Amino acid sequence: MTAIGKHSNQMTPVGGSEGDVSREGGVISRWAAHLAGQRPVEIGQTLPPHSPDCAGCGPDNPAGLHLRAVRTASGVEAVHCFDEAHVGAPGIAHGGAVALAFDDLFGFVLYTVGSLAVTRSLTVEYRAPFRLRQPYTFCANVAQREGRRLLLHAEARDDNGRKVGSAEATFVVVGAEHFAANAGQGMSPGECDLQMRDPRGPSNVPSSVAVSYVHSQPSVEVQ
Ligand SMILES: CCCCCCCCCCCC(=O)SCCNC(=O)CCNC(=O)[C@H](O)C(C)(C)COP(=O)(O)OP(=O)(O)OC[C@H]1O[C@@H](n2cnc3c(N)ncnc32)[C@H](O)[C@@H]1OP(=O)(O)O
């Protein structure tokens, strides 16, 4: 297999064996090692999850997708079957779960970039339903880099090679301190009781919801 050199175009640092992760502090230090170029990644290598509890790829998250991504010559790839845990309309994967798959795959592209970054915007095009228990091949790569902005592209195809979905994202490069600053800052389980705080009651259903990634804790605007 070909090692991706530290100085090759868009193919810098990274690597680590699958499952080589610990909790928050370990995750951050592992990424720091990637950025220092101490762990080259090879084409064909299964990439380690972002964290054990990551909703996209963490093996310890019971509600997660459990994506497994592999380094390819042009970026990263993951073959995934959605199941009942992520159903929307009967028999079809929830659009949010599909967006999660794309966003997480973009997170894996960072292994080929050599920089930490976070999602600033994400656009998903749903060309056909993602059926449950059907394998879909997701591919993602860096389309362009402009300063701190990474413009990322991805698509998903079914077993017949038909394009079922595609996504574009802007990720913004951040330092490891971005993650260190937010680690452990959330509420503990049981502390956040939304039912107690929501005065609108169950009948007040919002007509649309826009998600903005402008601050470290995404804000949600109900319209
Ligand atoms: C250790 C664990 C590892 C973990 C490894 C990573 C795991 C990835 C997991 C999957 C991905 C995720 O879920 S990430 C989680 C979801 N995302 C987030 O929580 C991000 C929340 N947002 C933020 O924290 C912030 O908005 C940042 C960091 C993204 C940016 O804030 P900032 O640093 O103040 O930067 P800002 O000036 O606003 O923008 C930076 C540059 O980007 C440009 N820019 C901003 N928005 C856009 C846009 N939509 N399209 C084009 N360009 C844009 C600006 O013009 C500017 O360009 P110029 O003037 O520089 O030219």
pLDDT of residue 31: 75
pLDDT mean over 8-23: 38
Q: 183 in ligand 1 pocket by Cβ < 6 Å?
A: no
* pLDDT higher than 80, residue 127: yes
* pLDDT higher than 50, residue 17: no
pLDDT mean over 153-178: 96
Q: 116 in ligand 1 pocket by Cβ < 6 Å?
A: yes
Q: Ligand 1 center to residue 18 CA distance, Å?
A: 27
Q: 92 in ligand 1 pocket by Cβ < 6 Å?
A: no
Q: 22 in ligand 1 pocket by Cβ < 6 Å?
A: no
Would you say residue 46 lies in a domain? yes
* pLDDT higher than 60, residue 5: no
Q: Read off the tokens for 157.
A: 């195809």
| Residue 69 CB burial class (10 angstroms; 0-12, 13-18, ≥19) | buried
Would you say residue 50 lies in a domain? yes
Q: What is the DSSP string of 123-154?
A: EEEE-S--BTT-EEEEEEEEEEEETTEEEEEE
Q: 145 in ligand 1 pocket by Cβ < 6 Å?
A: no
* pLDDT higher than 60, residue 190: yes
User: Using CA positions, which residue lies closest to atom 31 of ligand 1?
Assistant: 214
Residue 109 belongs to domain spanning: 24-183+204-222
Q: On the CB side of 150, how many CA atoms lie within 13 Å of its CA? A: 25
pLDDT digits (tens, 9 = 90+) for 39-96: 767 899 999 999 999 999 999 999 999 999 999 999 999 999 999 999 999 999 999 9
Pocket test for ligand 1, best of 53, 120, 123 (most atoms within 8 A of CB): 120
Distance CA 133, CA 86 (A): 11
Distance CA 216, CA 179 (A): 9
- How far lies 195's CA from each of 55, 209, 222, in Å? 23, 19, 17
Would you say residue 199 lies in a domain? no
Would you say residue 113 lies in a domain? yes
Q: Ligand 1 center to residue 103 CA distance, Å?
A: 13
Q: 109 in ligand 1 pocket by Cβ < 6 Å?
A: no
pLDDT of residue 216: 53
pLDDT of residue 114: 84
| Percent above pLDDT 70 for the chain | 71
Q: Given pLDDT bands bounded at 50, 70 and 90, which one contains residue 192? A: low
Would you say residue 118 lies in a domain? yes
pLDDT of residue 199: 57
| Percent above pLDDT 90 for the chain | 57
* pLDDT higher than 90, residue 196: no
Q: 41 in ligand 1 pocket by Cβ < 6 Å?
A: no
Domains in the chain: how many in total? 1
Would you say residue 79 lies in a domain? yes
Q: Ligand 1 center to residue 83 CA distance, Å?
A: 31
* pLDDT higher than 50, residue 18: no
| Ligand 1 nearest atom to the CA of residue 54, by list position | 9
Would you say residue 6 lies in a domain? no
